[in-house]
Structure formats: structure tokens, C-alpha cells
Amino acid sequence: MEERVVRPGFHARVYDVVRKVPAGHVTTYGQVATVLGSPRVARHVGWALAACVAEDEVPWHRVINSRGRISFKGDTSRGEEQRRRLEDEGVAFDLKGRVDLKRYAWSFPGQSWPA
């Protein structure tokens, strides 16, 4: 129950949390990790999203880093796609490619798991 231990189904939890983010809003890896019960696993949230694809129906593009920026390890092609999707949903970007978290950050219902 309140184990909050990261189980092998970690990805599934990440996906569910990300799916709760409505269009026009964004969240951070740390936020998702916190909802999962472990703010330290922010890196694994990104890793889980990396494994996720369109078939998973996960709005991975709504997840950015704590600085309101799009972080990638080198393949910016997905970063540009992420930015395009967010702009299409009404999320404005800074000239430096940053999002105003103050305005678009989404709060999860209960901020805990399970929801």
C-alpha cells in the first residue's frame, strides 16, 4: 500500500501520471517522481518516457525539466517535436525555448499515489 517502493511497473505509473496532465499544461520530471512517491527518481521518469512511444498514448511532450526547459541527451529532433506539440496545445515558449512553469505547471489531484 504505502510502500512507495518503485516496483517493476514503474513505467506504467509514470505513464498514468503523465496521462493526467491535460493539454495546455505541463509538468516536470521531479513533479511526476514526487507523485510517484520518490522525487529522486526524476531521471527514471525521463527514462520511462524514453521507452514510451505513441502506442502508449502518453503525452510525454508535456513533461519538461524543473527549469522549464526541454532536456535531451543529444537527439534534439524529439525536442523540437515536443515544442511543436506544446505550442499547438497553447503553451507559449520563451525565445530561449523555455516554458513558463509559473503559468503552465499542472498540479495533480491529491499529489499522491494511487490517485
Partner DNA sequence: TTGTTGACTCCCG
Partner DNA sequence: CCGGGAGCCAACA
Q: Is 60 in the site for DNA (CB under 7 A)?
A: yes
**Nearest-5° Cα angle at 7, 75 to 32:** 50
14 binds DNA (CB under 7 A): no
* Cβ nearer to DNA, comparing 22 with 40: 40
- The burial of 29, by beta-carbon neighbours within 10 Å (0-12 exposed, 13-18 middle, 19 or more buried), is given as buried
C-alpha cell at 92: 507559449
For DNA, the binding residues in 33-52 under the rule CB under 7 A are 33, 38-47, 49-50, 52
Q: What is the Cα 57 distance to its own chain's centre? A: 13
CB 58 within 8 Å of CB 18: yes
Q: Which of 16, 78, 105, 106 binds DNA (CB under 7 A)?
A: 78
CA distance 43 to 49: 10
Smaller CB separation from DNA, 40 or 90: 40
Choose between 3 and 109: whose C-beta lies nearer to DNA: 3
* Size of interface with DNA, in residues (CB under 7 A): 34
List of residues contacting DNA (CB under 7 A): 5-6, 8, 10, 28-30, 33, 38-47, 49-50, 52, 60-61, 63, 65-67, 71-73, 78, 82, 96, 98
